[in-house]
Homo-oligomer: A and B are copies of this chain.
Amino acid sequence: MHHASIVLFGVGGVGGALIRQIVQNRAHHATEYDLALPILAVCDRDGAVVTLDDAIDDATLLNIVDFKANKGRLANYSQGGPQHDLAAVIDIAARPHTIIVDCTATETTVPALLTALERGYRVVLANKKPLTIQQEVYDRLTRAGETADGHAPRQMTATRWETTCGAGLPVIATLNRLIASGDSVSRIAGAFSGTLGFVMTGLQQGRRFSEVVREAHQLGFTEPDPRDDLGGVDVARKALILARGLGWRIEMEQASITGLYPPEMTGLSVTAFLDALPSLDAHFQQMVDEAAAQGKVLRYVATVADGGCVVGPQTVDAASPLGQLRGADNLVEFHTRWYHPTPLVLQGRGAGVDATAAGVLSDIVELALSK
């Protein structure tokens, strides 16, 4: 039986779903892969539950998930026990074949992740932040195992970050396969926001921008402040991860981001912002009409091409994969030497805690079986 021990950073929606899926799939992993995935430590920003035995038992793990779902802090769950920062947890808990899994949404995990890689542990990231700060951090996280002569081999083995772009869709795996084959990727174009896909589909159906955004907000499809989606920064992070995945050296500040609201609406309260939305309706109506006049449709697109990332509303051919997309699904087109004139396309749910956790679990199993 192979053992890959898990140290989990972050027990929010994705981390909690991951724990449930690991527990539910223990028999499946044992039967199909001869694989055990004991969990050694579970950490949030306030504390950690750490075992010095082989594994935290499953009943405790599921208790922790329930506790966290009720907005508990692990510092309170493990009260009485010593509190550890993430680096200390690695010192205490990790052992050979440990995989550190980062399901947080903060860059503060970076020092612990780098320490883990230096010690020969492996890393799975659902967290985009560590990969979208400085290029040098990206390099260290994704190219662990650099050789003495300065080669920076694309290892594909020590770190996985499939779910940082399109959740469970195999976007990074596909990109890595294209690069491994020496295919030449000229352009990646994608719709990476379910929320903005919902908005764009509504506009195409003739609805007013204000109406669609308010509905998305009421249905909980947007962040509590819808500008967190409409601004495009989260989409730009995904584009940056793809650009860096192509081997380009590029910083977030170099990405061109056009949001769906003007800068002067940044300072408003959420309520005032929602009230002010109708002032944008005519603008978007005009954009949709102009696109339609050319036989095109409006999409919120991330384009990775010519060394740069461009994120914003864009007209695309109605008959193209992006043009045919409806609703909240993500879609990615890879335009390459061998995928021309039609691109290689991935499409499907690009968010959600279960689909994302399932993608993280795939990364874990692949890493666990790779040695």
Contact = CB atoms under 8 A, between A and B. Distances in A.
Interface of A: 21, 24-25, 28-29, 31-35, 147, 151, 153-157, 162, 168-170, 173-174, 177-183, 247, 319, 321, 324, 326-327, 329, 334, 338-339, 342-349, 352, 354-355, 358-359, 361-362, 365-366, 369-371
Contact of A182 (B247, B347, B358): B358
B21 A153 contact: no
A349 B182 CA distance: 17
Nearest to A157: B369
Q: How many copies does the complex hold?
A: 2
Given A344-B169, A346-B346, A349-B344, A177 B366 contact: yes
Contacts of A343: 348
A345 B344 contact: no
Nearest to A181: B358
Contacts of A154: 32-33
Most interface-central of A157, A321, A344, A359 (chain B CB within 10 A): A344
Contacts of A347: 321, 344-347
A32 B365 CA distance: 24
A179 B29 CA distance: 10
B180 A362 contact: yes
A185 to B, nearest CB: 12
Given A170-B177, A371-B371, 4 more contacts: A33-B153, A33-B154, A338-B352, A344-B347
